[in-house]
A and B are shown apart, each in its own frame.
Chain A
Amino acid sequence: MPEKTLVSDITDDVIVPGVKKKDPIVVAHAVSRRFGGLTAVDVAHLEIPRGSITALIGPNGAGKTTFFNLLTGFDKPNTGNWTFKGKSLAGVPAFKVSRMGMVRTFQLTKALSGMTVLENMRLGATKQGGENIFVSLFKPLWKAKEDEITERAMQLLAKFKLDTKKDDYASSLSGGQKKLLEMARALMSSPELVMLDEPMAGVNPALTQSLLGHIVNLKDEGMTVLFVEHDMHMVNTIADWVVVMAEGKVVAEGPPSTVMSDPAVIDAYLGAHHATDLGTIEGQLEVAEDMESDLVRSEVEHDAEAAGIAVPSHEPSPSTDAASTPVDGEEKK
Chain B
Amino acid sequence: MNGNFIWLAIGQIFDPTVAAYALATIGLVIHFGFTGLLNFGQAGFMAVGGYCFAITSVIYDWPLWGSFLAAIAGATVFALILGIPTLRLRADYLSIVTIAAAEIIRLSVKTPEFSEVTGGSEGINGAAKAFNAINPLPEGRFGIMGTPLVYNQDQWWIRIVGWGLVALACLLVFLLMRSPWGRVIMGIREDEDAVRSLGKNVFSYKIQALILGGVLGGLAGVVFILPRSLQPDNYGTQLTFFLYTIMLLGGAATVFGPVVGSIIFWVTLSLTDGLLSLGIEAGVLPLTTTQTGPIRFIIVGVALMLLVIFRPQGIFGKKKDLHFA
A111 and B178 CA atoms in complex are apart in Å by 20
Contacts of B208 in A (CB 8 A): 133
**Is the CB–CB distance between B190 and A112 below 8 Å?**
yes
Check: B294 CB closer than 8 A to any chain A CB: no
Chain B residue at minimum C-beta to C-beta distance from A105:
B197
Q: Return the contact of B180 from the options A106, A111, A136, A185 (Cβ within 8 A).
A: A136
**Is the CB–CB distance between B197 and A130 below 8 Å?**
no
Check: B238 CB closer than 8 A to any chain A CB: no
Contacts of A314 in B (CB 8 A): none
Check: B187 CB closer than 8 A to any chain A CB: yes
**Is the CB–CB distance between A113 and B196 below 8 Å?**
no
| Contact A114 B175, CB 8 Å, known A95-B196, A126-B199, A136-B182 | no
Q: Return the contact of B321 from the options A74, A114, A132 (Cβ within 8 A).
A: A114
Contacts of B196 in A (CB 8 A): 74, 93-95, 98
**Is the CB–CB distance between A114 and B198 below 8 Å?**
no
Main secondary structure of the interface of B (DSSP, over half): helix
**Is the CB–CB distance between B181 and A95 below 8 Å?**
no
Contacts of B182 in A (CB 8 A): 136
Contacts of A142 in B (CB 8 A): 179-180
**Is the CB–CB distance between B197 and A103 below 8 Å?**
yes
A247 and B141 CA atoms in complex are apart in Å by 81
Chain B residue at minimum C-beta to C-beta distance from A69:
B193
| Contact A74 B176, CB 8 Å, known A98-B198, A123-B198, A131-B200 | no
A93 and B202 CA atoms in complex are apart in Å by 10
A96 and B199 CA atoms in complex are apart in Å by 6
**Is the CB–CB distance between A123 and B183 below 8 Å?**
yes
Q: Return the contact of B194 from the options A99, A112, A122, A133 (Cβ within 8 A).
A: A112
Check: A274 CB closer than 8 A to any chain B CB: no
| Contact A112 B187, CB 8 Å, known A98-B197, A333-B325 | yes
Check: A16 CB closer than 8 A to any chain B CB: no
**Is the CB–CB distance between A95 and B199 below 8 Å?**
yes
Q: Return the contact of B186 from the options A93, A94, A114, A128 (Cβ within 8 A).
A: A114
| Contact A131 B193, CB 8 Å, known A124-B198, A333-B325 | no
Contact code string A100-117 (vs B, CB < 8 Å = 1, else 0): 000111100011111100
**Is the CB–CB distance between A186 and B320 below 8 Å?**
no
Contact code string A162-204 (vs B, CB < 8 Å = 1, else 0): 0000000101000000000010011011000000000000000
Contacts of B320 in A (CB 8 A): 114, 169, 171
**Is the CB–CB distance between B176 and A131 below 8 Å?**
no
Contacts of A74 in B (CB 8 A): 193, 196-197
**Is the CB–CB distance between A186 and B175 below 8 Å?**
no
Check: B234 CB closer than 8 A to any chain A CB: no
Check: B311 CB closer than 8 A to any chain A CB: no
Contacts of B198 in A (CB 8 A): 95, 98, 103, 123-124, 185-186, 188-189
Contacts of A124 in B (CB 8 A): 198
Interface centre among A93, A112, A139, A171 (most CB of B within 10 A): A112
Contacts of B176 in A (CB 8 A): 133, 136-137
| Contact A115 B180, CB 8 Å, known A98-B199, A333-B325 | no
Check: A60 CB closer than 8 A to any chain B CB: no
Contacts of B183 in A (CB 8 A): 115, 119, 122-123, 131
Check: A54 CB closer than 8 A to any chain B CB: no
**Is the CB–CB distance between A115 and B190 below 8 Å?**
yes
A145 CB → nearest B CB, Å = 8
| Contact A131 B181, CB 8 Å, known A115-B186, A115-B190 | yes
A236 CB → nearest B CB, Å = 28
Check: B116 CB closer than 8 A to any chain A CB: no
Contacts of A137 in B (CB 8 A): 172, 175-176, 179
Contacts of B181 in A (CB 8 A): 130-133, 135-136
A130 and B179 CA atoms in complex are apart in Å by 7
Check: B300 CB closer than 8 A to any chain A CB: no
Check: B135 CB closer than 8 A to any chain A CB: no
Check: B113 CB closer than 8 A to any chain A CB: no
Check: A72 CB closer than 8 A to any chain B CB: yes
A36 CB → nearest B CB, Å = 19
A139 CB → nearest B CB, Å = 7
Contacts of A105 in B (CB 8 A): 197
B302 CB → nearest A CB, Å = 27
Contacts of A133 in B (CB 8 A): 176, 181, 208, 212
| Contact A131 B186, CB 8 Å, known A95-B202, A99-B199, A189-B199 | no
| Contact A131 B190, CB 8 Å, known A72-B197, A94-B196, A114-B320 | no
**Is the CB–CB distance between B179 and A123 below 8 Å?**
no
A96 and B191 CA atoms in complex are apart in Å by 18
A74 and B212 CA atoms in complex are apart in Å by 27
Check: A282 CB closer than 8 A to any chain B CB: no
Chain B residue at minimum C-beta to C-beta distance from A172:
B320
Contact code string B111-141 (vs A, CB < 8 Å = 1, else 0): 0000000000000000000000000000000
Contacts of A289 in B (CB 8 A): none
A76 CB → nearest B CB, Å = 12
Q: Which 10 A-B pairs have the closest CB atoms?
A: A136-B179, A136-B181, A130-B180, A110-B194, A98-B199, A112-B190, A99-B199, A131-B180, A94-B196, A128-B180
Query: Interface of A with B (CB < 8 Å)?
Result: 72, 74, 93-96, 98-99, 103-106, 110-115, 119, 122-124, 126, 128, 130-133, 135-137, 139, 142, 146, 169, 171, 182, 185-186, 188-189, 332-333
Kindly list 18 other residue pairs between chains A and B, CB separation below 8 angstroms, not including A110-B193, A139-B175, A333-B325.
A94-B193, A95-B199, A95-B201, A103-B199, A106-B193, A112-B195, A114-B190, A135-B181, A136-B175, A136-B176, A136-B179, A136-B182, A142-B179, A169-B320, A182-B194, A185-B198, A186-B197, A332-B325
Task: List 9 interface pairs A-B (beta carbons < 8 Å), by A numbering.
Answer: A95-B196, A95-B202, A113-B190, A114-B189, A114-B190, A114-B320, A123-B184, A123-B187, A137-B176
